[in-house]
Amino acid sequence: MATSSAQISTWGNGLALRLTKPMAKAAGVSDGSPVRVTVEPGRIVIETEVEPTLDQMLAAFDPKKHGGEAMADRPVGKEAFAHGDT
């Protein structure tokens, strides 16, 4: 784990922390990388957010929670005509 000093700077109406190229490379981030920021008194933690793979999403799928019909009502409007339900 590397430690480096940096300085908070004004950026528009907010504040910013600039990462040097070596810091970004060591953390495995680049322009546009999603990160999670956790803030506590006197502490700011920035962690990379890796998008889950399809296998990870499928492993987390719970049919009881996510399964079944999105709408239990009968088709209405254009849906009724598409299904022949009038």
pLDDT tens digits along 12-24:
999 999 999 999 9
The Cα-based distances of 4 to 16, 19, 40, 41 in angstroms read: 16, 10, 20, 20
Pinpoint the alpha helices (H) of 1-86: 21-27, 54-59, 63-66, 78-83
CB 82 within 8 A of CB 75: yes
Residue 64 binned pLDDT confidence (cut-offs 50, 70, 90): confident
- Whether pLDDT at 79 is above 60: yes
Share of the chain above pLDDT 70, in %: 84
The three-state secondary structure class of 80 is: helix
CB 30 within 8 A of CB 21: no
Domains belonging to the chain, first-starting first, are 8-83 (2.10.260)
Q: Averaged over 61-69, what is the pLDDT?
A: 74
